[in-house]
Amino acid sequence: MNIVLGVAVFYVMWWIVLFAILPWGVKTAQETGEQSVPGQATSAPQQPMMLKKVIWTTVVTSVLFGVLVANNHYGWLTLDDLPGPSTDHLILSSPRG
């Protein structure tokens, strides 16, 4: 995997992991017993703790990316290892052949 592809894959993985981590520890004004601001959504978090979530996202993504790179290098799991539909019944020659 070249560096540009690695950065692109890490970037996409980071955003996917961020959206998975965002709900962690979220408490609304109703859950904390605080008064909500007029016009505020009832589901809005009181303390989103974004810095903590960004750090956790980077840690989790780094571990997952490390496993992906190691798998790419050592070949632990390839597409040939995954089960799929059988192609034995398909005719692979051209119709005119």
pLDDT, one tens digit per residue, over 48-96 is: 899 999 999 999 999 999 999 999 999 898 877 878 777 666 666 666 6
Q: What's the CA gap between 59 and 21, in Å, rounded? A: 11
pLDDT value of position 79: 79
Answer whether residue 57 is part of any domain.
yes
pLDDT of 17 higher than 80:
yes
Question: Quick one: average pLDDT of 27-33?
Answer: 88
* Counted domains in the chain: 1
Answer whether residue 63 is part of any domain.
yes
Answer whether residue 52 is part of any domain.
yes
Answer whether residue 78 is part of any domain.
no
Answer whether residue 3 is part of any domain.
yes
Average pLDDT, the chain: 88
Structure tokens at 97: 């052949």
pLDDT of 15 higher than 80:
yes
pLDDT value of position 84: 78
pLDDT value of position 1: 80
CA angle 12, 47, 33 (to 5 degrees): 140
Structural domain of 3: 1-20+47-73
- The DSSP symbol for 46 reads S
pLDDT, one tens digit per residue, over 87-97 is: 666 666 666 65
Answer whether residue 35 is part of any domain.
no
Answer whether residue 2 is part of any domain.
yes
Answer whether residue 79 is part of any domain.
no
Q: What's the CA gap between 12 and 2, in Å, rounded? A: 16
